[in-house]
Structure 1
Amino acid sequence: MDANLWLVVGLGNPGPGYAGNRHNVGQMVLAELADRMAANFKSHRTNSAVAEGRSFPGGPKLVLAKPNTFMNVSGGPVAALLRFYSLEPSRLIVVHDDLDIPYDTVKLKLGGGHGGHNGLRDIIAATGTNDFIRVRVGIGRPPGRQPSADFVLKDFSSTERATLPNLLADAADAVELIAADGLVAAQLKFHTA
């Protein structure tokens, strides 16, 4: 096993009907990372699509994984990926949408609860721990009285899509910085900007 190996999981729902949804922003970030690494996603026996590579020569190796399951049952594939790559949850970075963070904001943290996010809830249940790193991509709160469940399953608005590439790039930068320099260094950059 590579001593500098990280598993990076992007949460979302499978299929083209969900591809542009706010709930799929984690998988959008992984697409950005795969483009940077010139890596292609391939079907993996852990019920995931996986791409492997390095962001820069000599840098940490990243295993990018998109579970083929719906978000609410992401835990099984994530636990299987950790076993397959012989990694501890401390080497896991989960990229996901977060309603409690304003749109166009990235926050980083280690551990904590699931905050009502069913994908995180299932990963915590399947791995038996909440001690993994989260890259929380802010999607903001739904307008008016729109239910959160409806809001996350809608595509980004045209106004949001104008700045979405910058948000995805920031989240991808955060993943690379965590893997290369550690969580604290990444937090200093993203939480004090």
Structure 2
Amino acid sequence: MRLFVGLGNPGAGYARNRHNVGFMAVDAIADAHNFSPWRTKFQGELAEGRLGLEKVLLLKPQTFMNLSGDAVQAAMTFYKIEPSDVVVFHDELDLAPERVRVKTGGGHAGHNGLRSITGHIGPEFVRVRLGIGHPGDKRLVTNYVLGDFARQEAAWVEALMKGVAAGAPKLAEGDSSGFMTELARHLPQRPEKPAKPKPAAKPAAAPKPAADAVPAADAVPAAPAEAEPDDTRSPLQRLVDRFR
């Protein structure tokens, strides 16, 4: 059995806050996979169902974010669930909007919900980090996370929730890579960066002549052989000249 926990704050006033994206994730899973109606239990709202062959409990703590661990520990104790079978969906400032990462263990990075859960059950649970981006100044963080998603963000938030719901059966199997693959199919494809052009190949260098070779352009032509003059003497004169 797995326990999927969505983090958020209770009440209609917080429903569309960035800090409540964890609640949105488990709501999307419940709707897509026909889970039971939500009921009040363990200081939270609980729904039951199956993802593939795995029985899964969905939990939304109603204790406010900084006491989330109370509800998680109560549910784990009742159903005898180990920390390694707990999956927590939460907002992540350090990831760009619609980016998602899955990890097991680690710190809480100042997130009050994770801090509370870690204090109750230790750090060795699975975290699904749902990127919401950072306002750029830590003094703006509180108002940013407790603010609603902007209207222009609605498209990617909806796509993200559909992707989370589609990949949830893989996550229940412990297959985080399969979960990420299913999730990616529902998110808009980002344009690929153009590849950098490769530098043109340098022309091959001309072979160096041998040290004792004479370049063709500087070769000295051989002197032409001198032609012998025509002999214009008469036969008698040649005979006389032989005996001189």
| Equivalent position SS for 1:13 | coil
Match of 2:70 among 76, 96, 115: 76
Deviations 1:31-78 (A, max 9, x none): 10110122221111x11100000134xx21110000011011101111
Match of 1:65 among 56, 59, 65: 59
- Whole-Å Cα distance in 1 between the matches of residues 110 and 119 of structure 2? 13
| Structure 1 residue 159, shift from structure 2 partner | 1.1
- Whole-Å Cα distance in 2 between the matches of residues 176 and 148 of structure 1? 33
Aligned to 1:38: 34
Letter in 2 for 1:31: D
Normalising by structure 2, we get a TM-score of 0.70
| Structure 1 residue 183, shift from structure 2 partner | 3.2
- Asked if the contact 2:103/2:127 (under 8 Å) is kept, the reply is yes
Aligned to 1:130: 123
Letter in 2 for 1:61: K
Gaps of 5+ in 1: none
- Asked if the contact 2:163/2:182 (under 8 Å) is kept, the reply is no
Supply the RMSD in Å over aligned alpha carbons: 2.0
2:22 aligned with 1:29 = no
| Structure 1 residue 142, shift from structure 2 partner | 1.2
Matches within 5 A, 1:85-164: 85-127=79-121, 129-142=122-135, 147-164=140-157
Distance 1:175 1:111, change over 3 A: farther
- Asked if the contact 1:106/1:171 (under 8 Å) is kept, the reply is no
Provide the identity percentage.
Answer: 41
- Asked if the contact 2:164/2:183 (under 8 Å) is kept, the reply is no
- Whole-Å Cα distance in 2 between the matches of residues 82 and 96 of structure 1? 18
- Asked if the contact 2:38/2:47 (under 8 Å) is kept, the reply is yes
Aligned to 2:169: 176
2:6 aligned with 1:10 = yes
- Whole-Å Cα distance in 2 between the matches of residues 162 and 130 of structure 1? 33
- Asked if the contact 1:79/1:126 (under 8 Å) is kept, the reply is yes
- Whole-Å Cα distance in 1 between the matches of residues 137 and 55 of structure 2? 43
- Asked if the contact 1:135/1:171 (under 8 Å) is kept, the reply is no
Number of corresponding residues: 184
- Asked if the contact 1:105/1:138 (under 8 Å) is kept, the reply is yes
Normalising by structure 1, we get a TM-score of 0.88
Q: Larger strand proportion, structure 1 or 2?
A: 1
| Equivalent position SS for 1:25 | helix
Letter in 1 for 2:135: P
| Equivalent position SS for 2:173 | helix
| Structure 1 residue 7, shift from structure 2 partner | 0.1
| Structure 1 residue 179, shift from structure 2 partner | 1.0
- Whole-Å Cα distance in 1 between the matches of residues 136 and 109 of structure 2? 20
| Equivalent position SS for 1:103 | coil
| Structure 1 residue 105, shift from structure 2 partner | 1.1
Distance 1:188 1:148, change over 3 A: same
- Whole-Å Cα distance in 2 between the matches of residues 122 and 145 of structure 1? 21
